[in-house]
Structure 1
Amino acid sequence: MKLWGGRFKKAENKLMEDFNSSLSFDKRLFYEDIEGSIAHVSMLAKCGILQENEKDTIIKGLNSILDDINEGKLKIEGDYEDIHSFIETNLILKIGQVGKKLHTARSRNDQVAVDMKLYAKKSTKNVIEAIENLQQVIKELGEKNKVIMPGYTHLQRAQPVTFKYHIMAYYYMLERDRKRLLNALEVMNESPLGCCALAGTTYNTDRNYTALKLGFNNPVDNFMDGVSDRDYIIEIISDFSIIMMHLSRLSEELILWSSSEFGFVKIDDEFATGSSIMPQKKNPDAAELVRGKTGRVYGNLMSILTTMKGIPLAYNKDMQEDKEPFFDALDTVLSCINIMTGMLSTLEVKGENTIKAVKKGFLNATEAADYLVNKGVAFRDAHKVIGEIVLYCEEKNKSIEDLSLEELKKFNSLFKEDVYEFINYENTLSRGIKKDIIG
């Protein structure tokens, strides 16, 4: 059964039926479609458009369909145009002619718009919860591992930090992600139900009632904008893309750190795979897949942006293409957050190797320059002296702290015995603002 057809002389071509159908992917909106329909029919009765007994019959029928779907008695399949026609057709089969009154003062345009907003709100809250779980794991991982490690710029060892301080950078990236999603929820929290096709209805309906009943702050101000707005889809996928960028950066570091060249971390066997030919291999595939799936979410963002860029007001069928990119981006970001949560919760940090890397990287060179500055040497002159010392250390295969005082004095006579305490890595981290880095 189609929800239209009275003005057509010819049946829809089977190719067109298949091309036009969205049931295969919008079936995941069944709960929101029933939720929106219950709010709508309740409003119709409140406004005197339906009788109370008609409302009760329809709501009972909708709840029965919901139970049948959840219990597996009713499969969402068959020759239906979309989830909306599936629900309405099965409602009529269940309760008879009164079911045909459900769609009074409503269009599929505002119906699908409210379904998608309800689903997007619920799904975004799920992503926020997953982010918070990942943040907690990052915190715990940092607290367990306050070992010194190199901090990098240009992927070159730069200054000493702690593993905790490094990993907590991702905590704060995720905190911005969480705030972005919360803001998106607030911006989108207006109900399009009651806009109908694009200019409302001649019935005396109550949009405020349905908005509040469905958990929205208020109804949209403009009907045409209400049915054709997909900004919230774009904004949420954009937020998902930034989340994936952050997860990809973390994945890249885990991949590097777990290599033999770094040896900073050990990824648990549960989140690694092996080679079909090389028995010694342990591959960081979980991290690599997160990194790879980032491009997939970016593609979904470009897809919906491109779909929406040239559409005139109000609704156009192009907008059916909003669902698959959103669903795919949602599923991908949730799976990646959950995988990262599992990977980090089982991660082993090899502190002995991170400390070795610090000692090999001359990461107290800046502090050595600061030592001379404190003795009255201009920073640029101190910078030059320490650069010469680093060259000397490389030739002798030594670290700065391994040099004797006699060797240091060859470069500048102001070096005293207290230099060794000043450039000690633990002391450099505990000095001044770097107390934050120790945690």
Structure 2
Amino acid sequence: LSLLKAGWVNDRSCKKILNALLKAKKELKLNYKLEDIHLCLESYVIKEAGREGGFLSLGRSRNDQVAAAIRLELRNEILHLLEDMISFVKVLLDKAKEYNRSIMPAYTHLQPAQPTTVGHWLLSYVDAFFRDIERLQEAFERTNKSPLGSAALVGSRACIDRKFVATLLGFEGIVENTMDAISSRDFVLDALHALSSLMLNISKLSQDIIHMSCQEVGYLHVPDEYVSTSSIMPQKRNVVVAETARALSSIVISNLTAVYGVLKGLNQGYNLDFQEITWVLWQSMDKVSLTIRVFKNMIRGLKFNEEKMKKIVDEGFTTATDLAEYLSIKLRMPFRDIYRAVGKAVAKARKERSDFKEKLVREILRYLSTSFRRESVELTYNTLYRITDPLLSLKEKKTTGGPNPKEVLRMINDRKRRLEKTKKWINGKRKIIEEGERLLKLEVRRVMEVVDK
């Protein structure tokens, strides 16, 4: 069609070539005596269309054709993955809403730190995955550019209309510099970086699930279909799906590093090294897509042990910071002074086997009675004990993005709206591709009808 538009072939020759290409979709077989699929296709077209079929390669090269083929396939893979990500994040949001008020310990250094909720914890992953969605969208934008018309690397005397070709294939513009168009593979790096970041977050989520589901912790139960037993120990429940995902993340990240290694030593222009990049890209895409689909169903079936989580929240003195902040504000005392006092009180309370919070509060009151005049301290045991209640701790926190159940619910609703915007973005990109296909079919039909007349 581009050669017809440029005037290098007439309608009759164009129709012969088009008919041969359409027939090749069903009948083409590889001829291993020829170098590659490109020459196989050209040989077939010449056989079907006659000598005029030799025009097929005018103004084209394997270099720009391969680059275009990768971009065409990759853009579709990215859109499919984005649709999978929408479904996956939706499940995370539903689970976050289900456990919005379920108290659990937040960790630093793998030690219980402060109270939070399961909903807040899940939302931390939702936001990380949203950034991965944005990276995939950015990768799509740089992928969906046409290199066709660049030929080997400096264009062609045939001088085809590159923008015309790009429109018919649903590309959003062209990679303008012809040498850059055939020699650049940074769009592959963009995609692999987005996939690596996504799998890094999957790996972290996997590690959390493995940790929380182990018998010593016991915060959550993973559905039976996502665990396996031992060949010798019948009581075992090994969270093998999460373990496998953790390993796959290493492969995807390694693939990104491998592609950087391939590209770093190349001169500008086409190099056959590029062939070793493409299969790595598809391998990574396959592993990520499969992981997301499996994780979506696993997350949907997770059950959390709220009683066990609440117990660790209390035993871990996780509201000690709330107590210190309250006293610093109430007494107008430097936080660091109160921090030290609460730290000493916690150390003493840990030695008691009775109610940890009760001992902590009594130690604090003892400290206050010796550090302040009685009339200046208007704090009672009940007041301070109430401050150590983890649910109150969450409700009292008005921080934007914090674990207050109302704030978590606001964020859940906001993220659901963002998912809808992402859906609209995907639909918009698909419409551009479909419009290109529609215009392409119209051009083909026009040629066929003109010749028939």
Deviation at 1:58, TM superposition (A): 2.5
Query: In 2, distance between residues paired with 1:91 and 1:399?
Result: 85
Aligned pair 1:51/2:10, yes or no? yes
Alignment of 1:214-229 (within 5 A): 214-229=169-184
Question: Is 1:173–2:128 an aligned residue pair?
Answer: yes
Kept in 2: contact 1:255–1:284 (CA 8 A): yes
Stretch moving more, 425-434 or 103-112: 425-434
TM-score by length of 2: 0.82
Cα separation, 2, equivalents of 1:222 and 1:138: 43
SS of the residue corresponding to residue 153 of structure 2 reads coil
Tell whether 2:97 aligns with 1:132: no
2:386 corresponds to which of 421, 426, 438: 421
Deviates more, 1:46-55 or 1:171-180: 46-55
Who is 2:346 aligned against? 390
Distance 1:392 1:77 in 2: 82
| Whole-Å separation in 2 of the counterparts to 1:233 and 1:404 | 57
Gaps of 5+ in 1: 1-41
- Give the 3-state SS of the residue equivalent to 1:395 in structure 2: coil
Cα distance between partner residues in 2 of 1:77 and 1:384: 80
Q: For residues 4-53 of structure 1, what are the alpha-carbon distances to aligned partners after superposition, in whole Å with 9 as ceiling and x for unaligned? A: xxxxxxxxxxxxxxxxxxxxxxxxxxxxxxxxxxxxxx111122212223
SS at match of 2:398: helix
Specify every segment of 5 or more residues in structure 2 that has no aligned partner in the other structure, as ranges: 370-376, 409-453
If the length of structure 1 is used for normalisation, what is the TM-score? 0.84
Distance 1:327 1:398 in 2: 58
Could you give the per-residue CA deviations for residues 102-140 of structure 1, whole angstroms, max 9, x where no partner exists? 222111111111111111111111221221111111101
Contact (CA 8 Å) 1:389, 1:400: kept in 2 or not? no
Flag the 1:407–1:109 CA change in 2: closer, same or farther, 3 A. Answer: closer
Determine the structure 1 residue equivalent to 2:218: 263
Distance in structure 2 (CA, Å) of the matches to 1:292 and 1:117 = 28
Q: Which residue of 2 aligns with 1:200?
A: 155
Q: Residue 149 of structure 1 aligns to a residue in which SS?
A: strand
SS at match of 1:303: helix
Q: Note if 1:403 corresponds to 2:359.
A: yes
Residue 59 of structure 1, CA deviation: 2.5
Secondary structure of the equivalent of 1:218? Answer: coil
CA distance in 1, matches of 2:156, 2:217: 66
Partner of 1:302: 257
2:336 alignment partner in structure 1: 380
Count how many residue pairs are aligned between Structure 1 and Structure 2. 393
Question: What pairs up with 1:284-433 in 2 under 5 angstroms?
Answer: 284-373=239-328, 374-403=330-359, 408-413=364-369, 414=377, 415-416=379-380, 417-433=382-398
Q: In the alignment, which of 93, 98, 106 is matched to residue 60 of structure 2? A: 106
CA–CA distance in structure 1, aligned partners of residues 247 and 261 of structure 2: 22
Displacement after TM superposition at 1:93 (Å):
4.6
Quote the Cα distance in structure 1 between the aligned partners of 2:144 and 2:364: 66
How far apart in 1 are the matches of 2:173 and 2:93? 38
1:65-95 residue CA offsets vs partner (Å, 9 max, x unmatched) = 33x3xxxx76668555433334334444554
CA distance in 2, matches of 1:269, 1:54: 63
Give the Cα separation in 2 of the matches to 1:334 and 1:400. Answer: 47
Change over 3 Å in CA distance of 1:395–1:80 after alignment to 2 = farther
**Structure 2 equivalent of residue 121 of structure 1:** 75
Residue number in structure 2 paired with 1:21: none
Q: 2:197 is aligned with what amino acid?
A: I
Secondary structure, counterpart of 1:161 in structure 2 = strand
Aligned mates of 1:360, 1:79 — CA distance in 2: 74
Q: Is the 8 A contact 1:233 1:326 kept in 2?
A: yes
Q: Matched residue of 1:158: which SS?
A: strand
CA distance in 2, matches of 1:399, 1:299: 50
Report the Cα offset of residue 60 of structure 1.
Answer: 3.0
How far the C-alpha of 1:173 sits from its partner, in A, is 0.6
Contact 1:428 1:434 in 2 (8 A): no
Compared with structure 1, are the counterparts of its residues 253 and 89 closer, same or farther at alpha carbon in structure 2 (3 Å cutoff)?
Answer: farther
Give the secondary structure class of the aligned counterpart of 2:286.
helix
Q: Distance in 1 between matches of 2:250 and 2:35?
A: 31
Q: Which segment drifts farther, 403-412 or 356-365?
A: 403-412
Structure of greater relative contact order (alpha carbons < 8 Å, 6+ residues apart): 2
How far apart in 2 are the matches of 1:85 and 1:355?
68
Maintained 8 Å contact 1:385/1:412: no
How large is the RMSD of aligned CA atoms in angstroms?
2.0
- For 2:137, give the aligned amino acid: L
Cα 1:327–1:205 change in 2 (3 A) is same
Quick check: which one's helix share is greater?
2
